[in-house]
């Protein structure tokens, strides 16, 4: 019996995902928020592997848990945000926020149920290697968007460095325009004096 | 076999939770960035589910692009956050009222 195992895995990981997302929202400590978000990413990666998207599941774990969430944790630890913890946690009108989120959820679920023909849609069996199939599509049909993604990453690198680079305190070099203005008379003073004679 | 509806409902729940987090969190900006990550994760679940059930790999390619864009967005957002913390010494959302007219 193959199907009950798959369904059990789906329900376990979806419940885990929902709980982790909820704890990400309502947890007080930012470090705990980040760790619950990591748990949510793991659950989503497991769901994607159930959906036969193994490459994206692994990429989600590697890139998100390994890089992006590590960056979040670094920033949380770099900034001293204990001082801001004394403020009130939620805003006054959080009741309206909950109501609007519930309305959005009801709208989305009713939209899902109003779609006809989705329930009896059966997936074809995918190719053996998801990575191979994805690479075949990515490097042929989506080659230009792929290269644009590389340019976007370069822009991200440059923007991040330009934003967080502090020139004045880190760098002791003299600017070149000041170096050019220097004349020899500023640096060296030639003094004429008579030769001293030993007695 | 798990029907497509289940995945769509799960993504809707995660999306609503992310939006709720965006609305009720006013304490620090890092939580808001994490809630944006939750929203993008819900959208990606939809993409992967449709890609699986329609047997079309374009959905997974778009998930790839969304992941790249989200990583860049997180990096730049955190850099802006650090600059903001240097100048304002706070990352509370309500304290960011310098542009108020």
pLDDT tens per residue across span B36-60: 999 999 999 999 999 988 888 889 9
Give the model's pLDDT for residue A1: 52
pLDDT, chain A, mean: 85
**Cα(A15)–Cα(B54) distance, rounded to whole angstroms?**
25
Please answer whether residues B10 and A18 qualify as being in contact, where contact means their C-beta atoms are separated by less than 8 angstroms: yes
Give the model's pLDDT for residue A5: 86
**Cα(A189)–Cα(A187) distance, rounded to whole angstroms?**
7
What average pLDDT does the segment A42-52 reach?
92
Q: How far apart are the first and last CA of chain B?
A: 57
Task: Write out residues 56-75 of B within 8 Å (CB-CB) of A.
Answer: 57-58, 60-61, 63-65, 67-72, 74-75
Give the model's pLDDT for residue A124: 64
Instruction: Indicate the CATH number for domain B4-88.
Output: 1.10.287.3510
**Cα(A195)–Cα(A120) distance, rounded to whole angstroms?**
108
Which ipTM was obtained for this model? 0.92
Give the model's pLDDT for residue B42: 95
What average pLDDT does the segment A54-80 reach?
90
Task: Write out residues 77-136 of A within 8 Å (CB-CB) of B.
Answer: 78-79, 81, 83-85, 87, 89-91, 94, 97-98, 100-102, 104-105, 108-109, 112-113, 118-119, 121-124, 126, 130, 133-134
What average pLDDT does the segment A24-51 reach?
92
* DSSP state letter for A90: B
Confidence of residue B1 (pLDDT cuts 50, 70, 90): confident
Looking at the predicted structure, is the pLDDT value of residue B25 above 90? no
* Domain-wise residue ranges, chain B: 4-88
Bridge partners, residue A90, by sequence: B25
**Region for A173 from its dihedrals, namely left if φ exceeds 0, alpha if ψ lies in -120 to 50, beta otherwise:** beta
Q: Is B82 in contact with A60 (Cβ distance < 8 A)?
A: no
The answer, for A41 touching chain B at a CB cutoff of 8 Å, is yes
Looking at the predicted structure, is the pLDDT value of residue A89 above 70? no
What average pLDDT does the segment A4-22 reach?
92
Give the model's pLDDT for residue B17: 94
Three-state DSSP state, A188: coil
Give the closest of B5, B45, B51 to A47, CB-based: B45
What average pLDDT does the segment B77-93 reach?
84
Give the model's pLDDT for residue A133: 87
**Cα(B8)–Cα(A185) distance, rounded to whole angstroms?**
77
Q: Which residue of A has its CA nearest to B37?
A: A37
């Amino acid at each position: 019996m193959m199907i009950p195992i798959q369904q059990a895995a789906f329900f376990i990981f979806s419940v885990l995902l929902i709980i982790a997302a909820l704890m990400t929202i309502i947890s007080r400590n930012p470090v705990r928020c980040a760790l619950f978000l990591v748990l949510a990413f793991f659950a989503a990666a497991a769901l994607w592997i159930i959906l036969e998207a193994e490459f994206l599941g692994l990429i989600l774990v590697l890139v998100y848990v390994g890089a992006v969430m590590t960056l979040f944790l670094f920033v949380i630890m770099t900034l001293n945000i204990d001082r801001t913890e004394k403020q009130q946690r939620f805003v006054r009108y959080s009741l309206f926020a909950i109501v609007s989120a519930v309305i959005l959820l009801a709208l989305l679920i009713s939209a899902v149920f109003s779609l006809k023909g989705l329930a009896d849609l059966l997936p074809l069996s995918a190719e053996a290697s998801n990575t191979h199939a994805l690479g075949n599509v990515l490097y042929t049909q989506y080659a230009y968007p792929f290269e644009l993604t590389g340019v976007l990453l370069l822009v991200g690198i440059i923007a991040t460095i330009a934003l967080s680079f502090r020139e004045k305190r880190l760098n002791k070099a003299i600017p070149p325009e000041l170096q050019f203005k220097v004349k020899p008379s500023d640096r060296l003073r030639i003094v004429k004096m008579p030769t001293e004679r030993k007695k | 076999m798990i029907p497509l509806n289940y995945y769509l409902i799960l993504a809707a729940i995660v999306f609503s939770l992310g939006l709720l987090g965006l609305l009720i969190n006013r304490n620090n900006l890092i939580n808001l960035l994490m809630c944006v990550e939750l929203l993008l994760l819900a959208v990606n679940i939809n993409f992967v589910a449709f890609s699986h059930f329609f047997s079309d790999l374009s959905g997974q390619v778009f998930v790839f692009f969304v992941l790249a864009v989200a990583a860049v967005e997180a990096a730049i957002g955190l850099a802006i956050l650090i600059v903001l913390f240097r100048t304002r010494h706070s990352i509370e959302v309500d304290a960011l009222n310098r542009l108020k007219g």
